[in-house]
Amino acid sequence: MPIAQSRRRFLTNLASTGAVGLVSSRGGGRRSLAAEPPPEVTTIRLEKDPVLCIAPLVLQELLRAEGFTDIRYVDLTEAYVRRADAAKSSPIADMIAHGEVDFGRDFVPAQVLGMNGAPITILAGLHLGCFEVFGKDEIRGLADLKGKTVGTMAAANAGERPLLTIMTSLVGLDPDKDLHWVSDPSLQPMDLFLEGKIDAFLAAPPALQEVRARNIGHVIASSITDRPWSQYYCCMLATSTEFTRKYPIATKRALRAILKAADLCASDPRRAAQLMVDGGIAARYDYALQALSEVRYDVWRDLDPEDSLHFYALRLHEAGLIKANPQKIIADGTDWRFLTELKRELKA
């Protein structure tokens, strides 16, 4: 359901984060924070990758305000390359399951594939609308991809291919038979497209901004505007099941910081974009600002993450990519307790 951006006209950060200079919209968050015991651990490890959707995970002052004093970022570039051949396993989910990072975000289909039997727990949805599919002029929609060549990043194959598989399946194509898949570890999909080696590809920020700036191809599907993709979370936040079990207070505090950061991205994208550049997360302010201005970070209070998870898990099940039914995936791999509590605490 559409949710007006104007409903989120506030800054939701702690007054104590002087380095960032933000204030919370209400005192309730501060009161609940003071009443809570400190986190069981003060070290937290989060993913760091080039995708700008990671914005809510990298605003460190909010994490410090929650009691985390040792904030570490694990660069996933090498992990993507190392696991690029695991087409049915998300590198991010794999690192969470193996204890290499404590929290990470990914496309929902990749998260579902990664949590399929692995000790991963999804805590919340992060945002809507971060990817678009581009194609040649003669390709007007997803159904026109029949017999065409579709490119994916070899390093992020686990995220893009399942998503494109679901999208093309819903328009009546057989992704295994009707599409020709191409990836090259040395080239971006947009470069493969420019060289005439593929007919279509999916792009997410900041690659999405570069594709637009260079007028490469044209949009044939958009999660920003097109149903059903614009109605479901693109990315969700996950942690290891063991971390949540051992450190429930730290889990809640980390999630609170990340959700407040999402509020900042929605209410003040210019500030958030500059913080990403200053922190070395984003190379270009204009790309970061464009992404943060479009991606829907304002929906975590209103949109049901379980609905998104069910939608994608069902599509993956129908495509034969997972054996477990959506109900089992949700029952075994989610914990909404912390999100429910924070929705009450951080009321708009």
Q: Where are the beta strands (DSSP E) in 136-190?
A: 149-151, 180-182
Q: Are residues 260 and 239 in the same domain?
A: yes
Q: Where are the beta strands (DSSP E) in the chain?
A: 43-48, 70-75, 103-107, 120-127, 132-135, 149-151, 180-182, 200-203, 218-222, 235-240
Q: Is residue 76 part of a domain?
A: yes
Q: Are residues 239 and 90 in the same domain?
A: yes
Does pLDDT of 218 surpass 60?
Answer: yes
| Residue 33: band (very low, low, confident or very high) from pLDDT cuts 50, 70, 90 | low
- How far from each other are the two terminal CA atoms of the chain, in whole angstroms? 18
Does pLDDT of 190 surpass 50?
Answer: yes
What is the residue whose two structure tokens read 């949700």? 330
pLDDT for position 87 = 44
Q: Is residue 227 part of a domain?
A: no
Contacts 24+ apart (CB under 8 A), 75-79: 75/48, 75/49, 76/47, 76/48, 76/49, 77/49, 77/50, 77/155
| Residue 21: band (very low, low, confident or very high) from pLDDT cuts 50, 70, 90 | very low
Determine the structural domain holding residue 210 and report its residue range: 132-222
Q: Is residue 47 part of a domain?
A: yes
Does pLDDT of 46 surpass 50?
Answer: yes
Q: Are residues 9 and 120 in the same domain?
A: yes
Last residue of a domain, one of 222, 247, 267: 222
pLDDT tens digits for range 150-180: 988 754 445 778 889 899 999 999 998 999 9
pLDDT for position 321 = 83
Q: Are residues 100 and 208 in the same domain?
A: no
Q: Is residue 99 part of a domain?
A: yes
Q: Is residue 10 part of a domain?
A: yes
How many CB atoms neighbour CB 20 within 10 A?
21
Q: Which of 305, 289, 259 is closest to 8 using CA atoms?
A: 259
Task: Report the percentage of the chain scoring pLDDT > 90.
Answer: 47
What is the average pLDDT score of the chain? Answer: 83
Q: Are residues 124 and 137 in the same domain?
A: no
Here the CATH number for the domain that contains residue 157 is 3.40.190.10
| Residue 81: band (very low, low, confident or very high) from pLDDT cuts 50, 70, 90 | low
Q: Is residue 228 part of a domain?
A: no
Q: Is residue 337 part of a domain?
A: yes
Lowest pLDDT segment from 30-34, 158-162, 182-186, 267-271:
30-34
Does pLDDT of 54 surpass 50?
Answer: yes
Q: Are residues 178 and 280 in the same domain?
A: no
Last residue of a domain, one of 182, 201, 222: 222
Q: Are residues 11 and 74 in the same domain?
A: yes
Give the DSSP letter of residue 128.
Answer: B
| Residue 301: band (very low, low, confident or very high) from pLDDT cuts 50, 70, 90 | very high
SS3 218: strand
Does the pTM surpass 0.75? The reply is yes
pLDDT for position 94 = 82
pLDDT for position 200 = 93
Q: Are residues 245 and 331 in the same domain?
A: yes
Q: Are residues 243 and 341 in the same domain?
A: yes
Q: Are residues 156 and 175 in the same domain?
A: yes
Q: State yes or no: cis peptide before 37, omega within 30 of 0.
A: no
Q: Which of 319, 327, 328, 330 is closest to 88 using CA atoms?
A: 319
More confident residue, 115 or 44: 44
Q: Are residues 35 and 90 in the same domain?
A: yes
pLDDT for position 148 = 94
Rounded Cα distance, 153 and 226, in Å: 23
How many CB atoms neighbour CB 178 within 10 A?
16
Last residue of a domain, one of 167, 189, 222: 222
Q: Which of 329, 327, 4, 319 is closest to 165 using CA atoms?
A: 319
| Maximum alpha-carbon separation in the chain | 60
In the chain, the number of structural domains is 2
Does pLDDT of 348 surpass 90?
Answer: no
Does pLDDT of 70 surpass 60?
Answer: yes
Q: Is residue 270 part of a domain?
A: yes
pLDDT tens digits for range 221-275: 998 899 999 899 989 999 999 999 999 999 999 999 999 999 999 999 999 999 8
pLDDT for position 154 = 56
Q: Are residues 248 and 337 in the same domain?
A: yes
Does pLDDT of 91 surpass 90?
Answer: no
Does pLDDT of 307 surpass 90?
Answer: yes
Does pLDDT of 192 surpass 50?
Answer: yes
